[in-house]
Structure 1
Amino acid sequence: MHKDVDPADDEFDVGGLLGADSRLSVAARLRLFHRVLEETSAPIGILDPHLRHVYVNPALARIDGRPAHEQVGRDLAEAFPGLEVPRDVLRAVLADGIAREATVTGVSTVAGAPQTRWWHAAYHRLDDENGVFGVVAILMETTASRRTQLALDQAHRRLALLDRAALEIGTTLDTDTTCRELVDLLVPVLADVVGVELLEPADPDQEIGRPRPAPDTVRLRRAAWTSIPRLRYLSTLLGGPGEHIDYQPGADVARVVRTGCTVVDNRPSDEALRATAPDASRVAVYRAAGMHSAMMVPLIARGETIGTLSLIRAGDSAPFTQDDVEMARDLAYRAATCVDNARRYSREHSVALALQRALLARPKAPHPDIELATRYLPAGRSVEVGGDWFDAIALPHGRTLLAVGDVMGHGVQAAVDMSHYRALLRVLAAGGLSPEEILTRADRMGEEAGLERVATCLLVLKDPHAGVSTYANAGHLPPLLVAADGATRLLDLPTGPPLGTGCGGYTAQVRPDAPGSVLVLYTDGLVERRDEDIDVSLERLAALRIEPGAPLESLVDTILDRLVVPPVEDDVAVMAARQVGGGGGTAATSGGGASVGGGGGKPPAGTGPLRSPA
């Protein structure tokens, strides 16, 4: 029958239970100690001064799965070959008697598949006046908490890498630059060698001189490739950026393209490698470089496989884990969207540029007494094509209408709207309207036609026989006048709203043409800078010193060389005009003085009608 024990009872000596005065016999006390050691879940072992086991409790034996008696008498390596025990710590405890703690880790296969486990161990020396008997080791398993911490660390690492990817990938709209940003991010963080290869639509022009791929092979263009320094020589052996690689039907990359699934090969045999490499001849190169593991991830954007991301590890790098696969997939997903955006932009940029050039072409020929020089510089590939244009239209009575304009916005639609405005101006100019009336009607018709974008426009009607020019401006930048003595200035003109607003309100200004002067019309790409006010940009233009008597083509090139700094951030259209031969300059001098700077819409006396031919 159970009997309650009162600690105050004189017959129950709590303080001396295990002491020298205990009423328990030595054998009873040993049995009590033994029961604690045998039943505790904490692994406990005792080692002699030579670090051989003299006692192993059942919890410690279960780590290796062998009975405790088979481990007694063995040293650490023999008893627990899967554990990495800190021998230096044990020897230090034996030497100075100071208790120490350490982490013990190892691979255990008791529960089936091998798994890494961790324990926190405390070591104490066993000694008395007769000497040192050994060390007792008490372990507490920390595998669950360690795995949780590792998972958190891995999640933080993945998030940090994804954050870097968001900042460092897709900084431009150039396809190859985007691919280079991806490979630079991943080496050496995730692999020793990384490459990006893209599928490209068949282009007969680009395939000229290149052998056709063999049947069932997959051809990709290597857009980017990088590696750790000691493996950089491989790009000359395996193909660098810009080269086309043909993959045999069984190659891993070909499988990724066909299935859209990730493929991982950790330490494949030579036979397997010959079957999955681009071609069997590369296996020797792989082995010589110490490349042992590979992962191929599809680049999928908007449901379409557009290429592959290949990651390779070599030398002492560990094989790829599932965490590595998940991280590579996340990065490939983000990068694929950036690459696809760049590819789509490149296609639209090419279409817009081709359309812009086809529509712009060269202006119509002016009258023989007007010399013209024009230049069109498209924006760099990182900037969309705009809607800049210039034109020259020969009209009756020796007059020539010069036009320069810029549609707001960029892309294909801007180029299309540019063609509409240009066509409107040509039709209206043929009707004999004055410059301000041409702008008024073009503004109204553009608004009624529902053109998506407004446009700035400057018209100059040059009349060499009268020696005057009539200006009308719809929100455009002022023209540059280069005098015969080389002095330059911007003409101050009345300015109305851009075309397509439907507001109207345009005013003409008539100015005399000084002999030997050059008039320069341009779009904002010539002068504007992102980091400065437009007035500062215009002052730079007005401060140019140009030789007006130079060939007009050279004069335009001089202006571009001094003002345009590559890469071009916006389209640039420039047109320079100069009167050549004789003209009726006396009429301009006598009749044009009153209207210079006056802003009126009427021409000076002696110039003839502007609205219709005589």
Structure 2
Amino acid sequence: MEERDTPRAAPSNLSEDVFGDAATASAVVDGHGIVTGWSEGARLLLGYTSQEIVGGSAARLLEEDVPAVTLGEIQALPRWRGRVGLRHRDGHSVAASVIAHHRMEEAKGADWFLVCPLIGTSAAPEDEKLALWSFEQSTSCDITVYDTNLRLRRANHRAQRVMNLTEAEMRGLRAAEIAIHPHVEQTEQLMAQVLETGRPQYMENFVRAPGEPRVHVWSVFVSPLQEEEDDVVRGVCVTAHDMTEQYWARKRLQLLDDASTRIGSTLDVTRTAEELADVAVPEFADFATVDLLPDPDSFPEPVQPGPMRLRRIAHKSVTPGTPEAAVALGEVLAYLPHTPIAQSLTTGRGVLLAHYDPQAADFSLGDPRQDASVRAFGMHSVMAVPIRARGTTLGSALFARHQRADSFCGDDLLLAQELTARAAVSIDNARRYTRERNTAEALQRTLLPQRLPQQAAVEVASRYLPTGALTGVGGDWFDVIPLSGARVAMVVGDVVGHGIHASAAMGRLRTAVRTLADVELAPDELLTHLDDMVLRLSAEADDDSADSSTEPDQRAATAGGFGATCLYAVYDPVSRVCTLARAGHPGPAVVSPEGTVDFLDVPAGPPLGLGGLPFENAEVTLPEGSLLVMYTDGLIESRAQDIDEGLARLRKALTRPAPSLDDLCNTVLAAVPPQGPTDDIALLIARTHALDARHVARWDLHADPAVVSQARRLVADQLAEWDLDEVCFVTELVVSELVTNAIRHAVPPIELRLIYDRNLICEVSDASNTAPHLRRARTYDEDGRGLLLVAQLTQAWGTRYGNGTGKTIWAEQALDDVHLTH
């Protein structure tokens, strides 16, 4: 049979002679009751050698069989102890006191380790000496013993060293007579409670020993001393453990835990720097500063010689008003190369000057104000830690002590580096967020109309309000687009998402809307074409996000496709009819001249980018002086406010009197959006004007070439009535060419209309859907010069189609400023 390993009670690097293993009988029994280990002590106890017993059943060693129920109960215990009757090799009984340890090891499974002492349980003569020596020579704690009068009777060697008094000098004195300190009085009160109640007491003392700058923390246990035969307290034992290092380690961990919740609460660089200073003072330092490089991205690696220029972002002091700073927040400071801050930036490591001497002759920080402050406040210990994140140096943090007597140590430097590292990541996140947000906002504002175009149909005012939320700038936009016939188009839209990509997408959509508006499409048709374009953009975004060569950040930003909402309206000042269509966008509000507010019931089309679903127009006639209010959903809706509440607030705000449209925009933005909006807001308010009927002339013409001369006479008479004789010649030529083309190439009925607005507009309408095309006539061509002539003589011309059939050819002439006062 193979011999198993004999169990050992000591580590393998210590000899058995040290422990005297033969004085303990030990054995190992596996889960099946088989002996797998047998010690020399076990041989001395029962007479079996390891060769005779290992591999056999442990049951044969028992004097009596153990019931199965008892075995089951024992198996569930982590440890069992008791007296057991064993059978010696020669047959006699052996009563042994056994302790059985139930061991659970993943590699070997479960087994039992059994031990039995062989040296006896009665006290030996030398035991009393060992007890005395343990009391006197203990190095882990101070031990003092007091009688029932709380007079000291005994003190071990460590207590005598701490008190700097011998036991003979202290014997018979109270604790308050040995040391004068408030904590000693508290200890005496606990000792009195122990004498009265017989229950142990505990407290922590914070004592600064004479000549030591650092506070010592003592864990004090007060225990009753009494005889076993009765419960009478015969004395008190006070043990004190020096827990200073553990206490300060715990304080550092608490400070780090506090920093994890307080630093980085916002994506604001200044606030994060202030949080770092707030965490450090007063728990860790008496004075702290946070200085950041003006441009971290241009910080040279390696560092060039010369002063380091940093901007003071935050500082904090235990002194009210922070007089130690000597400089204002936001000021740029130059630190000389030998200063702690410059050294931390140069080396990229923390600098600890435990004993800082600002009184040295060559001391200088490079700023006389700071030099005077350091000397005046007596800063005697400083640390400078570079603020670095993701390989970029952002600045440096300085920690100083001038009120605390103890200096910084190596553990303090580690703590400062950990605090600064946590703040550095938050500062870098805030810096990156601020830079991206500023870029997105600048792009957004650049792509929005810089000034709204001059036109007479409506008076407009607008606002764009970027959100202050972490999501960043969105893709909200608005626009006002002059159309032919003195009409005007107004649009408000919202791109799904936030950031630079949303702003860029908004710019593409706004350009597309302007392009489609120039084609003179009806609102529903325009949204249909816009929906097709968004579908194509969404497909491109999906392809870009799936491209493995695209950067991960860019793939994440474009993933999920592309979408938008839009409200498009066209207002005609001649008929006062406003035609609207919307794609997943909130409907507009209309304020009548009397001040009543209504929300138009525009058919709800799907958001742009879904495809396949139609859009519908809605027409409403607006009295002159009505207000058309268009907005994005950020104005009326958020997580904290549902849309019904937002609409009610908007209705109330629009009923308030306002001297101008700009004032009304301010009123709406102040009263309607929820607190802490999480989305951008675009707002466009238009006051409608109606064109005077006297400034519109209309004639029905026959499809006869002879009517061309009649049309010229009608136009000349009307221009004379409007006092526009100086443009009569050009207008007659334009009318002659347009009417001739309609008679020759189009289908009756033919209508001629003149509109006297900011410009002079000439329109010829017919029932044909065929549009003329501008071309350059050759030398001997008899036609092809008409539209070229019109294009040369007028400011703009074009074609627009009616609802279903027919078209209108129009041309505009610019008028002098003198005519704009009509």
Task: Note whether the superposition's TM-score is higher than 0.5.
Answer: yes
Q: Which has the higher contact order (CA 8 A, sep 6+)?
A: 1
1:286 aligns with 2:374: yes
Query: d(CA) in 1 for partners of 2:153 and 2:468?
Result: 79
Give how far 1:269 is off: 2.4
Q: Deviations over 1:247-267 (max 9, x none)?
A: 111110011112121112223
* SS state at 1:477 partner: coil
User: Which of 598, 606, 623 is 1:489 aligned to?
Assistant: 598
- What does 1:290-369 align with in structure 2 at a 5 Å threshold? 290-362=378-450, 365=453, 367-369=455-457
Q: Contact 2:339–2:365 at 8 Å: present in 1 too? A: yes
Instruction: Find out whether 1:582 has 2:683 as its counterpart.
Output: no
Counterpart-to-counterpart distance in 1, 2:378 and 2:130: 53
Alignment of 1:120-519 (within 5 A): 142=241, 146=243, 150-151=245-246, 153-154=247-248, 156-201=250-295, 216-228=306-318, 230-234=319-323, 238-270=326-358, 275=363, 277-279=365-367, 282-362=370-450, 365=453, 367-380=455-468, 384-450=472-538, 452-519=561-628
Residue from 587, 607, 631 that aligns with 1:522: 631
Partner of 1:24: none
> 5+ residue gaps in structure 1?
1-30, 48-52, 77-82, 109-114, 125-135, 205-213, 588-604
What is the alpha-carbon distance in structure 2 between the residues aligned to residue 527 and residue 314 of structure 1? 55
**Which amino acid is 2:317 matched to?**
S
The one-letter code sitting in structure 1 at the alignment partner of 2:310 is L
Aligned mates of 2:248, 2:144 — CA distance in 1? 34
Query: What is the CA–CA distance in structure 2 between the aligned matches of 1:90 and 1:177, rounded to whole Å?
Result: 45
Q: Equivalents in 1 of 2:361, 2:413: separation in Å?
A: 20
Deviations 1:67-104 (A, max 9, x none): xxx9898889xxxxxx9899989999xx9xx8999999
Pairwise CA RMSD: 4.8
Deviation at 1:523? 1.8
Change beyond 3 A, Cα 1:36–1:163: closer
Residues 473 and 506 in structure 1, CA contact (< 8 A), matched pair in contact too: yes
> Amino acid of the residue matched to residue 576 of structure 2?
G
Cα distance in 2 between the residues matched to 1:173 and 1:377: 19
Tell me by how many angstroms 1:118 deviates. Answer: 9.0
CA distance in 2, matches of 1:579, 1:548: 19
How far residue 185 of structure 1 moved from its aligned partner, in angstroms, is: 2.3
Give the counterpart letter for 1:266 in structure 2: A
Aligned to 1:544: 653
Number of positions where the alignment pairs a residue of Structure 1 with one of Structure 2 = 521
Q: Is the 8 A contact 1:252 1:276 kept in 2?
A: no
The one-letter amino acid of 1:168's match is: R
The residue aligned with 1:13 is: none
Does the C-alpha gap of structure 1 residues 544 and 75 become closer, same or farther in structure 2, counting only changes over 3 Å? Answer: closer
Q: What is the 5 A alignment of 1:66-145?
A: 142=241
* Cα gap change, 1:443 to 1:523, in 2 (>3 Å): same
2:643 to 516, 534, 548: 534
Task: State the one-letter code of the partner of 1:376.
Answer: Y
Q: Larger C-alpha radius of gyration, 1 or 2?
A: 2
**Structure-1 separation of matches of 2:681 and 2:657:** 21
CA distance in 1, matches of 2:255, 2:534: 50
Contact 2:307 2:337 in 1 (8 A): yes
Tell me which amino acid in the other structure corresponds to 1:395: L
Report deviation, 1:240: 3.3
Secondary structure of 1:372's partner?
A: strand
Q: Secondary structure at the match of 2:441?
A: helix
* Superposition deviation, residue 176 in structure 1: 0.7
- List alignment gaps of at least 5 residues for structure 2: 1-124, 138-142, 147-151, 172-177, 210-215, 226-234, 299-303, 542-560, 698-766, 768-799, 810-822
1:115-149 Cα deviation digits (max 9, x unpaired): 9999989999xxxxxxxxxxx99998956xx47xx
Label 1:463 to 1:287 Cα distance change in 2 as closer, same or farther (>3 A).
same
Matching residue's letter, 2:463: R
For 1:89 and 1:117, the matched residues in 2 are separated by: 13
CA distance in 2: counterparts of 1:569 and 1:256, whole angstroms:
40
CA distance in 1 between partners of 2:646 and 2:205 (Å): 70
Q: Secondary structure at the match of 2:421?
A: helix
Q: In 2, are the aligned partners of 1:225 and 1:240 still within 8 Å (CA)?
A: no
Measured after TM superposition, the shift of residue 583 of structure 1 is 5.4
- 1:609 pairs with one of 794, 802, 812: 802
Matches within 5 A, 1:593-604: none
For the residue of structure 1 that corresponds to 2:497, the secondary structure is coil
Shift of the alpha carbon at 1:60?
A: 6.1
Q: Distance in 2 between matches of 1:292 and 1:32?
A: 55
* Counterparts in 2 of 1:564 and 1:477: CA distance versus 1, 3 Å: same
